[in-house]
Chains A and B, each alone.
Chain A
């Protein structure tokens, strides 16, 4: 069996499962945020279900429109807040401690290997970096999971992506996943598990790995997953609050895959996904020089401390030529960046530093685009209208490429600044 099949078998109380099999799985952690959870709460109230399956297994953080961007989003936050308090949700991150969910949950030690995690957000697949099964669900599934602690799943077939070689200077995990999606297509892994393996991965930090699993959904996948190793263990030792033993699963040597794709990471260049699909990735050489109006460095894909350090290294002593937003994904990342003096660098360069939020990544607020504007962004989607006007354009890239492009105001090869 693959690692995904083993985790799902355990959650379903079975010895084995096969792709295509329908199972009822026990859920270990449910992630709740301010856009998809309030409707789930309303559904539960309407059905007269005034309970949660386990107040310690639900993690709540407003993030999409927090701090509240308008009256309607304030109402969403109010509904979330009242519900979390009513049910004594143990892990409720209120503003001040709230952050972009997929950066916050691992950082606060809620993600454990071998577990099944669901969240009312498509990028919930991020947590697969920790050898866990995690997938995004809608509000109705969320309501059902909150009430029962279980959900039905169809066991996905797996595709293996073997990342060989070492990344070159100026090339990051974001460039790897943009390369993978450019080859796979935005529905090339539809309904499938994307399992990542290989020596290039072994050299990546957990933060870098999360960027890869984060974007599995952009290839249509149900989950992205990476096996457990020393890097995983060390991160968990530093972050898990509950030290009780977790289950480590790995794919068998004779596990069945729909496909095995090989990538030579030493050949990967800094990539930019052109509008309007995440699969539009091309090497920077093919698009350098295109004029931008804004740079955005943040989000669940690339708003972690490592990302901010990479951007700061390039921006140090430089001045940005376009509007540049730095959005640390969580309060502790914000504090860390401040303690390390990164904010001084960003300030001197002329960037604006925002509070943790999903913000403009999804066109919510704090940096939305006008008609005709172009944004180089470290986020995950470049669909029509994603960051604002339907007539604006989003170019996806690594924090390094975004920072280099901010300096010249054009799509720029980050290696020029290294």
Chain B
């Protein structure tokens, strides 16, 4: 049995319509990479452009240059993946 890597955590990513997907990440990964993986899990292929999305956690938009650990994400954390902007009528 391989040794357990305590740096690996599982997050729940939620899209704007409420769809969710579990994503496994390393706490040292940058959130830009977490965002790419979340978009891939939520929307499949073709994967939306990460430049058009934010990660929101605890009501705040996260700095994508931070690592998951620095952003305070822990195993079981729920993140939202939202378009940066919405079209206004």
Say if A and B assemble together: no
